[in-house]
Amino acid sequence: MERNTSPQISETTFRILVALSAAHCMNDALQSVISAAYPILKDDLSLSFGQIGLITLVYQSAASVFQPLTGLYFDRRPSPWSLPAGMVFTLVGLLSLAFATTLPWVLASVLTVGIGSSTFHPEASRLTSLASGGKRGLAQSLFQVGGNIGGSLGPLLVALWIAPYGRQHIADFALLAGIAIGVMLPVSRWYKKRLILLRQTGNPGAHNRISPPLPLRQTILSILILLFLIFSKYIYMASLSSFYTFYLIEKFGVTVQYSQLLLFVFAVSTAIGTLIGGPVGDRIGRKYVIWASILGAAPFALLMPHAGLFWTVILSFCVGLIIASAFPAILVYAQELLPYKLGLVSGLFFGFAFGVAGIASAVLGKMADLYGIEAIYNVCAYMPLLGLITWFLPDLKKASR
C-alpha cells in the first residue's frame, strides 16, 4: 500500500498520543459515571430494570447514531475544535443529570452526554491515526487504554464520592470536564497546524489516494464480519457494564459500594487487555488477535454463572483482559480496509459498539425483570463463541504483500 512520506505527519508524535489518551481517559470517566450511578438512580427515582435499560438505550443510541455521521462530516470538513466542543455537551449533560427528578429529565441528560461522546470518538480516533507514524496498533491501544482507564475510574468515583454523599455530587465532575477541555486545546492547535500544512502543500486529501488492500466486494464482506464480531463482543460486555453490580448484589448480597469496587476490578482488566491488543496486532497480525480475544473469552464466560463470589471476580477479570484486546485490533483492521475514510470507519465502529450495547442493555434489562438477573449471564455466556466467524477474515499482511 502507498504510504504518506511527509515527515511532519508520519513521525510518531507521542506527545499528542499521550494527550489524546488522557483526554479519552477523562471523557470516558465522565461517560461511565452514568452506568456506575444506575443503582443510585434506581433508588432515588424508584426505577425498574426495564427503565434502567431504557436509560442506557437512549444514551448509547445517541452516541451510536451520531458517531458515523460526525465521522463522515469531519472526513469532508475537518474541524480542529470539535474535541472541546464535544466535551461541552458532556459537561452540560452531567450537570443536568445531577439534579434530574424525573425519568424524561434523566433521558434528556444522558442524550446530551451521548452527543458529546459521538463528537469526541471519531475525530479523536482520526487524530490518533494521524499521529501514529505507521504504528497504528500501538497508537490505537494507547488511545483505547486511556478510555478504558477512564471507564474503570467511573465506578470508583461513584463509590467514593457519589454513593456516600448523594447524586447531586455528579455536578462536581464539571471540574474534570474543564480539565479535559484544557488538555484538548493544545491537540486542537496541533491539528490546526497540520491542516494548514496540508493546504499549503496543495495536498489536503492525500489519504484519499491510498489504495485499499482488498477488492471492494471482499472489503464489504470483511467489514460485515467485523461488525458481527463487535455485535458478539458488546452484547456480552453490556451484561457486565450495565448489570454486573446488580448481579453481585442480588446473588452474593454485597453492598452497593463494594459492588462498585468489584466493577472497578473488571474495568481495570479491560484497560490492561486493550493496551496489549494493539501492539500484539502490529507484530503478529490483527486477525489472530481478534480470533484469540473473542473466542478465548468463552471458557471464562461460560464458567462465571456457576462460580462463587471469589471466582466470579477472578473470571470476570480474565474475561475483561482477554475480550478487551479485540477492539483496537478490529478498529485498526477496519481502518486499513478503508484508509481514505478514517472518520467514517471510526464513527461506524464506535457507534455500532455503542448502539449494540444500548439495545442489548434495554433487552437484558427487560429480561432481568421477567426472569431474574442471573438469567442474563446464563444466556450471554455463549456470545463469545460467535468469535468463530473470525475464520473468514482475510490476513491483511498477506494481502499487502
Distances 273 to 18, 107, 280 between C-alpha atoms, Å = 18, 32, 11
Q: What DSSP string describes 359-391?
A: HHHHHHHHHHHHH-HHHHHHHHTTGGGGGGGGG
Looking at residue 235, its pLDDT comes to: 86
Looking at residue 202, its pLDDT comes to: 55
Average pLDDT score over residue span 282-287: 79
- Residue 1, domain member (yes or no): no
Looking at residue 308, its pLDDT comes to: 93
Q: Comparing C-alpha atoms, which of 225, 237, 236, 217 is closest to residue 333? A: 225
**Calpha distance 247→287 (Å, rounded):** 33
- Residue 171, domain member (yes or no): yes
**Calpha distance 295→290 (Å, rounded):** 8
Query: Helix 14-36 vs helix 49-76: angle between axes, to the nearest 10 degrees?
Result: 150
Cβ atoms of residues 271 and 282 within 8 Å: no
CA 303 to mean position of chain CA atoms? 25
CATH number, domain with residue 205: 1.20.1250.20
Average pLDDT score over residue span 272-300: 84
pLDDT at 206 over 50: no
- Residue 80, domain member (yes or no): yes
Full residue range of the structural domain in which residue 291 is found: 12-400
**Calpha distance 124→138 (Å, rounded):** 15
pLDDT at 207 over 70: no
- Residue 310, domain member (yes or no): yes
Looking at residue 95, its pLDDT comes to: 92
Burial class (CB in 10 A: 0-12, 13-18, 19+), 256: middle
Instruction: Determine phi and psi for 154, rounding to 5 degrees.
Output: -55, -55
**pTM of whole model > 0.85?**
no
Please tell me what DSSP assigns to residue 381: T
Looking at residue 354, its pLDDT comes to: 67
- Residue 6, domain member (yes or no): no
Query: Helix 174-200 vs helix 103-130: angle between axes, to the nearest 10 degrees?
Result: 40
Q: What DSSP string describes 187-234?
A: HHHHHHHHHHHHHHTT-TTGGGGPPPSS-HHHHHHHHHHHHHHHHHHH
Cβ atoms of residues 274 and 325 within 8 Å: yes
Cβ atoms of residues 198 and 206 within 8 Å: yes
How many domains is the chain built from? Answer: 1
Average pLDDT score over residue span 223-243: 86
Top-confidence residue, 7 or 361: 361
Place of cell 445531577: 98
Burial class (CB in 10 A: 0-12, 13-18, 19+), 56: buried
pLDDT grade, residue 400 (50/70/90)?
Answer: low
- Residue 7, domain member (yes or no): no
Looking at residue 9, its pLDDT comes to: 39
Cβ atoms of residues 374 and 292 within 8 Å: no
- Residue 33, domain member (yes or no): yes
DSSP element (H, E) containing 91: helix 82-98
Average pLDDT score over residue span 196-202: 69
pLDDT at 256 over 90: no
Give residue-wise pLDDT tens across range 166-191. Answer: 788 888 888 888 999 999 998 888 88
**Calpha distance 149→144 (Å, rounded):** 9
Give residue-wise pLDDT tens across range 112-156. Answer: 988 888 888 888 888 888 887 777 777 888 888 788 778 777 777
- Residue 247, domain member (yes or no): yes
pLDDT at 208 over 70: no
pLDDT grade, residue 5 (50/70/90)?
Answer: very low
What does the buried/exposed string (b/e) look like for 85-98 if buried means 16 or more CB atoms within 10 Å of the residue's CB?
bbbebbbbbbbbbb
In 69-216 the beta strands, taken as DSSP E runs, fall at none
Q: Comparing C-alpha atoms, which of 354, 305, 399, 300 is closest to residue 68? A: 354
Q: Comparing C-alpha atoms, which of 277, 190, 239, 256 is closest to residue 14? A: 190
